[in-house]
Structure 1
Amino acid sequence: MEVHTFFLILLTMLLSARVLGELAARLGAPPVIGELLAGVLLGPSLLGWVEPTPVIRLLAEIGIILLLFEVGLETDILRLIRTGVKSVIVAAAGIILPFAFGALAAIHVFDLSLITALFIGGTLTATSIGITVRVLTDLGRSQGRESNIVLGAAVIDDVVGIVLLAFLYEFSSGGGINLVNTGKVLLFILLFLILAPLAARLMAEVIKRFERVSQIPGLIPTTVVSLVLFFAWLAHAVGAPELLGGFAAGLALSQRFFFPMGVAIHTDAKFAHHMEGQMRPIVHLFTPIFFVMVGLSLNFQVIDWSSSFIWTFSGVLFVLAVAGKLLGAFLIRENLPTRFAIGLAMVPRGEVGLIFAELGRSSGIFDGEIYAAMVVVIALTTLLPPFVMKWLYRRHAGSFPEAHG
């Protein structure tokens, strides 16, 4: 790709995301819907102007990493820990139930092979943490108790999703699973989640001291972005999703950080707000690229809309995908609107589901019709929940508890 062509593509993506996001907000829809639709409009589904090239994927990856950094920065880890048991229940049920529902339906209803059924189940387990977080932020609920439960569950979901993807890939290519290798990956991820925030915290103190004496403007954005990218690389190196590195860095730099051994450390509020103010424009520049990228990846041209199999298959899987996540939320003790909100927030599959589906297609496990049906399911689970969640929060305003400090 020529450099000047890339400039034009990037300009088109950013402007269309902004315009359609603004239009969505004015029409009463979550702005993220406008950004997703910008990708659908520009991509192979409609106009075909923009393709999801490696460069665009890289910028989108930076966008989701920075978004999770911002989420970590605004998260009170004590609140997150208090919702830990509920997050684990929601995550576990939200993984097991959709996987079982999807795999069993594929085998017993549609008479598909075991490996195909496993990949279908795996695709239904995924939750797009980026879309979930953005919707809750757009609705002004990023600090609500349900958001802490969802955030914890989505982080667990992401880690398990990576392990499950490795499982399925190994099973499809070699016919077996190496439990030793899987155990090592889980151990490395656990060590990373414990040690990375501690290391980031030490680096944050260094940044704070240098910022006081530095004669060069822009120290905080440069060093903080470098820190986030380093921890994203480190997360990938141990087998975890890169976005967990961004989340860990943000958590360590947040105003109240909690060490595993029980020591709570408070960041100077003035410095924390200064850092947030310096980083926010960068985060808001990159995150729309991620959501446009998700829209670009939803290629509706591959779908034969006259196929009765695609309509039936995608309809059944969509119902099972939503039911699996909602049932997981109903296993915890909260009021009815809160449980619905948690379940709906776990529904979007987004880019994570597309990764599973693409692996199934590229490895020959999904044929054209099954892949097309999975794209329909992923599109529906990505585009519909934000609308339903906005209606739910309007309909039951005042029913949602705030997180305890």
Structure 2
Amino acid sequence: MTLPALLLAVDSHQSEVAETLISVGEFLVIFVAARVLAELMVRLQLPTILGELVAGVVIGVSGLHLIVPPDTQAQLSAWSLSVLGSLSGLEPASVQDLYAETFPNLKQVSEIGLYALLFLTGLESELDELVAVGAQATTVAVTGVVLPFALGTAGLYYLFDVPLIPAVFAGAAMTATSIGITASVFGELKFLRTREGQTVIGAAVLDDILGIVILAVVVSLAGGGSFELAPLLKLVVAAGVFVAAALFLSRTAAPAFDWVLDRLKAPGEVVVAGFVVLTLCCFAAQAIGLEAALGAFAAGLILSGSKHTHAIQGTVQPLVALFATIFFVLIGTGMDLSVLNPMNPENHEGLIVAAFLLVVAILGKVAAGWSYVSKVKTNRLVVGLGMMPRGEVGLIFLGLGSQAGLLTKSLEAAILLMVIGTTFLAPILLRLVLGGQSGGPDLDPLAEIPT
């Protein structure tokens, strides 16, 4: 072997060692931090998801810089780069470049956690229960989209003199509801199958569909393109067809799935067959322009009538415990809390706008809890608070706005603070409102929560 070839082989080996160290180190840091904070939250009687988000903040761009999303322009801590560099034989700059290249893999793994969580949420939902609260969920979803969007856009445009397109974009970011965070909180509190829980989950799904439509319009306008009705109608029709197909299959597909599963003999047949349905639904949703997350929920709903539902739940829950943790921690790692510093004059405008957006974001969703008519007594505050967290969906909106160059630094900081505030407040407020109540496994699925 020639000397140049030998040097190339050595460099390649060092890069492989560094990539392995980075990947293993990421998982180690995430799981240890998440577990420590989750244990603390349990002892404080707070949802564990809050601990995972805080863990992300601690190890992310606002804390130790052990895990930093490349799109935040932040660097890994000098200590991390030095350790990884010395172990792999690479320069710190090379380690940082490798980290930026491998981070998308971590993000993809985290998305598996989100899809598994929503799949599990669908499995734990009953179609009859969702249909029973369908009218209420639709009203909650529409109100929870229209109020924050209208009030946020109008307030920014008229009160703060924000140009129309950035104001519309910020208003659109306020329409989001993080179905992942909502499902996690209700599942942990064992209120997922109450009337309130089913109303919120149904509304959150519709919220995502409405949010996608709004996002398509806003991105088109932001890109300088003219507004075209045909693509928008196509997207609306696609969403309607997808939801109708999911509802139809949830009534008819379970027996066929059971027939196939009963004839599989190789180990792991339950989880593999379930994930085949999950990936097919995610693929179908993404292919017609919807979010893959909606497909994951639809897959769970389709299999909720299977006689193997409990077995599927048992195999999926460990995957959720592992990979959904990564998803929620990564949300926290990208939150830059430096924008909260009132001592920095550059933050003042953003803090004022953020206070306005946060109030509107909270009131708009909470008001949605009073927007429906129901003959059964329900805790409307729980419904409104369940719709409140923006989470990863709000961050997606923010990221698109930043990439398009639509947002000033102050408006970008204000939207980020709105997302952070609603994401952290929702689990805390739900726990306070529900107190020591627990739905329990034998709770009537459509029972009310005492007010």
Shared fold (TM-score, shorter chain, > 0.5): yes
Question: Which residue does 1:166 correspond to in 2?
Answer: 216
Cα offsets for 1:197-237 (capped at 9, x unmatched): 65577775455334434342111112211221221111100
Give 1:44 shift: 0.7
Rounded to whole Å, the distance in 2 between the matches of 1:165 and 1:24 is 35
Cα offsets for 1:304-361 (capped at 9, x unmatched): 5323212211111111111111112112246897111111111101111111111112
Q: Are residues 1:13 and 2:63 paired?
A: no
Question: Which residue does 1:177 correspond to in 2?
Answer: 227
Preserved CA contact (<8 Å) 2:53 2:328 = yes
Which of the pair has the greater relative contact order for Cα pairs under 8 Å at 6+ separation?
Answer: 1
Alignment equivalent of 1:320, drawn from 355, 360, 369: 360
Alignment equivalent of 1:33, drawn from 50, 53, 56: 50
Question: Which residue does 2:77 correspond to in 1?
Answer: none
Question: Which residue does 1:258 correspond to in 2?
Answer: none
Cα offsets for 1:157-214 (capped at 9, x unmatched): 0011111111111001124221101111111222122224655777754553344343
Question: Which residue does 1:88 correspond to in 2?
Answer: 138
Question: Which residue does 2:83 correspond to in 1?
Answer: none
When normalised by structure 1's length, the TM-score is: 0.90
Preserved CA contact (<8 Å) 1:106 1:117 = yes
Question: Which residue does 2:421 correspond to in 1?
Answer: 380
Give 1:299 shift: 2.0
Equivalent position amino acid for 1:12 in 2: V
Question: Which residue does 1:347 correspond to in 2?
Answer: 388
Rounded to whole Å, the distance in 2 between the matches of 1:36 and 1:51 is 14
Instruction: Answer with 246-255 or 328-337: which moved more.
Output: 328-337
Rounded to whole Å, the distance in 2 between the matches of 1:175 and 1:209 is 50
Instruction: Give the percent of matched residue pairs that are identical in Structure 1 and Structure 2.
Output: 34
Structure 1 residues 66 and 395: alpha-carbon distance in aligned structure 2, compared to 1, 3 A threshold: closer
Rounded to whole Å, the distance in 1 between the matches of 2:236 and 2:320 is 30
Question: Which residue does 1:262 correspond to in 2?
Answer: none
Question: Which residue does 2:321 correspond to in 1?
Answer: 284
Equivalent position amino acid for 2:125 in 1: T
Preserved CA contact (<8 Å) 1:93 1:328 = yes
Alignment equivalent of 1:308, drawn from 348, 352, 358: 348
Rounded to whole Å, the distance in 1 between the matches of 2:437 and 2:340 is 37
Alignment equivalent of 2:238, drawn from 188, 212, 230: 188
Q: Are residues 1:229 and 2:279 paired?
A: yes
Preserved CA contact (<8 Å) 1:30 1:386 = yes
Give 1:366 shift: 0.6
Equivalent position amino acid for 1:87 in 2: A
* Larger gyration radius, structure 1 or structure 2: 2
Question: Which residue does 1:261 correspond to in 2?
Answer: none
Preserved CA contact (<8 Å) 2:340 2:351 = no
Give 1:59 shift: 1.6
- Gaps in structure 2 of 5+ consecutive residues: 1-17, 70-102
Rounded to whole Å, the distance in 1 between the matches of 2:261 and 2:281 is 21
Rounded to whole Å, the distance in 2 between the matches of 1:138 and 1:74 is 12
Question: Which residue does 1:157 correspond to in 2?
Answer: 207
Preserved CA contact (<8 Å) 1:86 1:149 = yes
Give 1:15 shift: 2.5
Instruction: Answer with 326-335 or 376-385: which moved more.
Output: 326-335
Equivalent position amino acid for 2:355 in 1: G
When normalised by structure 2's length, the TM-score is: 0.82
Aligned residues: 391
Alignment equivalent of 1:114, drawn from 164, 168, 182: 164
Q: Are residues 1:69 and 2:119 paired?
A: yes
Instruction: Answer with 272-281 or 204-213: which moved more.
Output: 204-213
Rounded to whole Å, the distance in 1 between the matches of 2:407 and 2:418 is 14
Equivalent position amino acid for 2:397 in 1: F
Give 1:395 shift: 7.5
Rounded to whole Å, the distance in 1 between the matches of 2:389 and 2:198 is 17
Question: Which residue does 2:405 correspond to in 1?
Answer: 364
Question: Which residue does 2:105 correspond to in 1?
Answer: 55
Preserved CA contact (<8 Å) 1:102 1:124 = yes
Rounded to whole Å, the distance in 2 between the matches of 1:110 and 1:37 is 32
Structure 1 residues 302 and 322: alpha-carbon distance in aligned structure 2, compared to 1, 3 A threshold: closer
Instruction: Answer with 284-293 or 68-77: which moved more.
Output: 284-293
Question: Which residue does 1:46 correspond to in 2?
Answer: 63
Question: Which residue does 2:95 correspond to in 1?
Answer: none
Structure 1 residues 40 and 336: alpha-carbon distance in aligned structure 2, compared to 1, 3 A threshold: farther
Give 1:275 shift: 2.2
Rounded to whole Å, the distance in 1 between the matches of 2:368 and 2:156 is 21
Preserved CA contact (<8 Å) 1:29 1:390 = yes
Instruction: Answer with 54-63 or 156-165: which moved more.
Output: 54-63
Rounded to whole Å, the distance in 2 between the matches of 1:272 and 1:396 is 26
Structure 1 residues 215 and 330: alpha-carbon distance in aligned structure 2, compared to 1, 3 A threshold: closer
Rounded to whole Å, the distance in 2 between the matches of 1:404 and 1:76 is 14
